[in-house]
Chains A and B, each alone.
Chain A
Amino acid sequence: MENQEIMDEGKQYIVVKLGCEQYGIDIKYVDNIVRMQRITRVPKAQPYFKGVINLRGEIMPVMSIRLKFNLEDDEITKKSRIIIIKTEQQALVGIIVDEVKEVVTLMENQVEKVAYEYGKDDLNSYLVGVGKYNNELISLLNINGVISEQEKGDN
């Protein structure tokens, strides 16, 4: 019984907005959320890397999920934030989002796994599933897939 309960405690996600869509990022990958700041462009880097920022004395690359997802370029507003992601390799990288909304807890049964077979485009490898919360859908990001350099759909 106890085990069951722990399983059911679910996972916490930070809900962010990109355009009109909502995405969830597993909170265990989030190191920090900082306000938008001046980004230094790095010539000849991958196009979806906006550049680097100075985060308390460390240089940190910042990428745009919008560009990586082939959406139109970011429009920086007051609500824009940089989420500092700490990956399993302990490396830090920032991603730009339009807005950070809230932290939600999703139970196992609120998450629907993405069927990989169907539709082989990039976006699927960037998602781990779709969460349902208060009648809204949240696409849960596969952080390692988003950040890693190998682009499966690269042509």
Chain B
Amino acid sequence: MDLSQYLEIFIDETNEHLQNLNEQLLILEKEPENENTINEIFRAAHSLKGMAGTMGYKRMQRLTHDTENVFSEIRNGKMKVTDGLVDTLFRCLDALEGYLETIQSTADEGTEDNEDIIKLLNDFISNEGKADVSQPAAKKEEIENKQEASGKEKYKELNILDFERNAIKEAANNDIKAYGITVYVQESCLLKAARAFLVFKALESLGEIIKSSPEVQDIEDEKFDFDFSVIFLSDNSAETIKAAVLDVSEIKEAYIGEIVLEQIEKQETAVAKETVETVKKETKPAETAAPKQAAQKTPAKPVGRSVRVDIEKLDVLMNLVSELIIAKNGLVSASAQEGSSINVGFNEQIEYLERITTNLHESVMKVRMMPIESVVNKFPRMIRDLCKKLDKKMDLLMSGEDTELDRTVIDEIGDPLMHLLRNSADHGLESNEERIRLGKPEVGTIRLDAYQDGNNVVIEVGDDGRGIDTEKVKNSALKKGTITPEQAENMSDKEIIDLLFRPAFSTAEQVSDVSGRGVGLDVVKTKIENLGGDIEVSTKKGEGSVFSIRLPLTLAIIQALMVELRDEKYAIPLNSIEMIEDVNVSDIKYVQTKEVINIRGTVIPLIRLDQVLNCPEKETEDESLLVVIVKKGDKQVGLVVDELIGQQEIVIKPLGKYININKIISGATILGDGEVALILDANTLV
């Protein structure tokens, strides 16, 4: 069988298990006695082992096997969880992640044996004086199984049809024995069908399968509980066959017995009588199995009904929706042109269509959305490692992990966030002694909060550390020649903080491998800006600082205000627009020869868009100006435009190669009449 079709599932599931292990280990570190956690870890490690085994990743299997051993020790109360042990286990997880990465890129686990970790693990076990625990455990299991065995030989309940009986008879004449086999797959097994397939394959090398229950097709489709029975013709001994079956990993037990025809005939009459009873019997295990499974899963999070879809298919879907919206815009503008000649019904239908496309767009967008959880859930582990590395005590508090973002954004946001967290841990928080001296709680707190704000998602990374020392930043910038002394004189605190986002700027006096190489915040900033977002810092000396990242919910389709400049149309993203004002030319004031307006007490600089965009000169200056006020953070700027067209849903398209575009223009869109309008990036103007 080609295992590659399972590879993707394997990678996904392994990722989930590893993440789960990471989380549980963190809990275990805090509560070494927590039995639920120990069991959960044991189960996850066990499934990992099984999965690695099925896929033929021997090294990975070995490592997980030893991990599992350690946990079975702990579970049996023969071992205590110690700091050293947790450290080793974390190293173990890292090694497993390493395997997974290699598998992901090459479909092979690589050659790293991780002998040192395995040795460490085994040392833990032998130190406790009880080597190799798997044996007694296995024995116990066997005993249990034997007790249960009688009811488990389901093959005896198989209904043997005439032609099958003939086949058995014929085989018997040729000295080939017929066996009934019932195979139980472990309940934690995730790839049951694959397991069953391997069993079938093993059997086929020894003889011939003449009947299976459920049908082979159903088994392939995973339409069976945890067991299946076959009738099997072979000249091998029952023991050989059993061994072959049990050789397949995650097979819990196999029951095998010879089938003699008279027996069957007797049985059949019995079965006929007891049909009612057997039905009862069969339903019972199923019933008990179900709650058991449910009980097992309760500690984990409830799993929703879901389908895995290739992201490319979603992209295609999104493109089609974009096309549909363009077509809809075409209809809207066509109907607007004809105006009076079109009847009311038509307009109603168009409005209906408009509603549907908007809803469709939203739904498709939601499909592409993923909770930010998948990115942030690896941070607790990272902070824990940083605690040890930096020798600082700190806590990570997270909220809003269920905030959703577009898949493409999720993929990109991990690194910047990680960087900010490291920054907070390394630069932000003081050392424990210093904190005590300052009268702060000894343990520093790092916060990661995510929430939705209108059409944006805001992620804040904050700490209760020393805050940004603007003097230090200023001096450092002076020393590096980033700013001149005159500039330094006139800079506001905010401008100074913005210096942090310049390339090659780090205030850390010591370069550590945590942060401070000076390749940090500017990279964070560029990355976030590439995603269409922005980043801001607020800080209070002695109380800490907060970095807030603002990201758009979606990248491809936005709401925009269409404006006109001379005879050109431009789109301004709606989420950056604060308000629209009519301003009298006489109300324009000058500050340092720049035009400003005063709106309800705020002084807002004016930008003549026509000049910025090199539009042809206007012959006559109007008495009043239309000003679109856009904001970026708490900064505002007024854009002077000629005409407002209205709000529209637009699809962002790239401008193509070869043409150089200024930063002001973030893309283009196709209007209803087929005309192209450029999209202005208001952020670059502010």
Which residues from 299 to 329 on chain B have a C-beta closer than 8 Å to any C-beta of chain A? Answer: 323, 326
Contacts of A119 in B (CB 8 A): none
Shortest CB distance A53–B (Å) = 7
Contact A91 B657, CB 8 Å, known A40-B677, A54-B674, A54-B675: yes
- Cβ-defined contact, B658 with A91, below 8 A: yes
**Contacting residue for B656 out of A38, A44, A92, A148, CB 8 A:** A92
Q: B657 contacts which chain A residues (CB < 8 A)?
A: 61, 89, 91, 93
CA distance A44 to B661 in the complex (A): 7
| B5 interfacial contact with A, CB 8 Å | no
Answer whether A38 and B675 are a contact pair too, CB < 8 Å, given A43-B662, A44-B614, A59-B653.
yes
Contact B670 A54 (CB under 8 A): yes
What is the total number of residues of chain B having a CB less than 8 Å from a CB of chain A? 26
| Any A CB within 8 A of the CB of B585 | no
B342 within 8 A of A: no
Q: Are A52 and B670 in contact (CB under 8 A)?
A: no
- Write out the residue numbers on chain A whose beta carbons fall within 8 Å of the beta carbon of B326: 57
Q: What is the CA–CA distance of A13 and B571 in the complex, to the nearest angstrom?
A: 41
Query: Which of A42, A91, A148, A149 has most chain B Cβ within 10 Å?
Result: A42
Q: Which residues of B contact A148 (CB under 8 A)?
A: 658
Judge whether A42 and B653 touch: CB under 8 Å.
no
Asked whether A15 is an interface residue with its Cβ less than 8 Å from the other chain, the reply is no
Let me know if A60 is at the binding interface, CB within 8 A. yes
With a cutoff of 8 Å between Cβ atoms, the chain A residues found around residue B591 in the complex are none
Instruction: Render A138-155 as a binary contact track against B, CB cut-off 8 A, 1 for contact.
Output: 000000000111000000
Closest to A91 in B: B657
Q: How far is the CB of A142 from chain B (nearest CB, A)?
A: 15
User: Does A43 contact B664, Cβ atoms closer than 8 Å?
Assistant: yes
- A43 (CB) vs chain B CBs: closest residue: B613
Are A147 and B668 within 8 A (Cβ)?
no
A72 within 8 A of B: no
Pick the most buried of B612, B653, B661: most chain A CB atoms within 10 A of its CB: B661
Instruction: Kindly list chain A residues whose C-beta atoms are within 8 Å of the C-beta of B676.
Output: 40, 51-54, 59
Expressed in whole angstroms, the Cα–Cα distance for A139 and B18 within the complex equals 65
Residue contact B655 to A61, C-beta cutoff 8 Å: yes
> Residue B279 at the A interface, CB < 8 A?
no
Q: Which residue of A lies closest to B565 (CB)?
A: A43
A42 touches B659 (CB 8 A): yes
Of all chain B residues, the one with the shortest Cβ separation from A38 is B675
In whole angstroms, what is the CA distance A103 to B659 when docked? 28
Question: Would you call B658 and A59 a contact (CB within 8 A)?
Answer: no
- CB-based contact B665/A61 at 8 Å: no
CA distance A41 to B658 in the complex (A): 15
Q: Is A49 an interface residue (CB 8 A)?
A: yes
- List chain A residues, Cβ under 8 A from B454: none
- Interface status of B678 (Cβ within 8 A of chain A): yes
Q: Which residues of B contact A51 (CB under 8 A)?
A: 676
Q: Min CB distance, A1 to chain B, in Å?
A: 43
With the chains together, A43 CA to B326 CA distance in Å?
24
**Neighbouring A residues of B274 by C-beta, 8 Å:** none
Find residues 651-686 in chain B having any chain A CB closer than 8 Å to their own CB.
653-662, 664-665, 668, 670, 674-678
Inter-chain CA distance A44–B326, complex, in Å, is 27
Query: In the complex the two chains form, what is the Cα distance from A103 to B401 in whole Å?
Result: 63
What is the CA–CA distance of A53 and B661 in the complex, to the nearest angstrom?
Answer: 15
Q: Is B247 an interface residue (CB 8 A)?
A: no
Say yes or no: is B568 at the interface (Cβ < 8 Å to chain A): yes
Minimum Cβ distance to chain B for residue A41 (Å): 6
Quote the shortest CB–CB distance from B611 to chain A (angstroms): 10
Per-residue interface assignment for chain A, residues 104 to 146, with 1 indicating a CB less than 8 Å from any chain B CB and 0 otherwise:
0000000000000000000000000000000000000000000
| B390 CB to nearest A CB, Å | 47
Bound-state Cα–Cα, A93 to B658, Å: 8
Given contacts A38-B675, A43-B665, contact A52 B658 (CB under 8 A): no
Interface centre among B568, B662, B676 (most CB of A within 10 A): B676
Please name the residue on chain A nearest to B675 by beta carbon. Answer: A38
Q: A59–B655 contact, CB under 8 A?
A: yes
Shortest distance between the CB of B219 and any CB in chain A (Å): 47
B658 in contact with A147 (CB, 8 Å)? yes
Given A54-B675, A54-B676, A57-B670, is A46 in contact with B660 using a C-beta cutoff of 8 Å? yes
B residues in contact with A102, CB < 8 Å: none
Which one of B323, B615, B664, B675 lies within 8 Å of A57 (CB-CB)?
Answer: B323
> Which residue in chain B gives the minimum CB-CB distance to A94?
B656
Q: How far is the CB of A66 from chain B (nearest CB, A)?
A: 17
Interface membership of A63, Cβ < 8 A: yes
| Distance in Å: Cβ of A76 to nearest Cβ of chain B | 16
B670 close to A42 (CB less than 8 A): no
**Hey, which chain B residues are within 8 Å of A42, CB to CB?**
655, 659, 661, 665, 678
Judge if A5 is at the interface, Cβ distance under 8 Å: no
Contact between chains at B614 and A59 (CB < 8 Å): no
Q: Min CB distance, A144 to chain B, in Å?
A: 11
A58 at the interface (CB under 8 A from B): yes
Report the separation of the CA atoms of residues A54 and B330 in the bound assembly, to the nearest whole angstrom. 13
- C-alpha gap A45/B665 in the complex (Å): 10
Q: Mark B612-639, 1 if CB is under 8 A from A, else 0.
A: 1111000000000000000000000000
> Across the interface, which residues of A come within 8 angstroms of B614, CB to CB?
43-44
Q: Considering only CB atoms, which chain B residue lies closest to A52 in the complex?
A: B676
List of B residues within 8 angstroms of A52 by Cβ: 655-656, 659, 668, 676
Closest chain B CB from A122 CB (angstroms) = 17
A45 near B660 (CB under 8 angstroms)? yes
- Cβ distance B652 to chain A, nearest Cβ, rounded Å: 10
Instruction: Please report which residues of chain B, range 565-623, place their CB below 8 angstroms from some CB of chain A when the two chains form the complex.
Output: 568, 612-615
Which A residues form the contact surface with B (CB < 8 A)?
Answer: 38, 40-46, 49, 51-54, 57-61, 63, 89, 91-93, 147-149
A-B contact pairs, 26 of them (CB 8 A): A40-B668, A40-B675, A43-B613, A43-B614, A43-B665, A44-B614, A44-B661, A44-B662, A44-B664, A46-B660, A49-B659, A52-B659, A52-B668, A54-B670, A54-B676, A58-B653, A59-B655, A59-B676, A61-B655, A61-B656, A61-B657, A61-B658, A89-B657, A91-B658, A93-B657, A93-B659
| Chain B residues engaging chain A, CB cutoff 8 angstroms | 323, 326, 568, 612-615, 653-662, 664-665, 668, 670, 674-678
**Given A49-B660, A61-B657, 9 extra CB contacts under 8 A:** A41-B568, A43-B662, A44-B660, A44-B662, A49-B659, A52-B676, A59-B654, A63-B658, A91-B656
In the A-B complex, the 5 residue pairs with the closest CB atoms: A61-B659, A44-B662, A91-B657, A43-B613, A40-B676
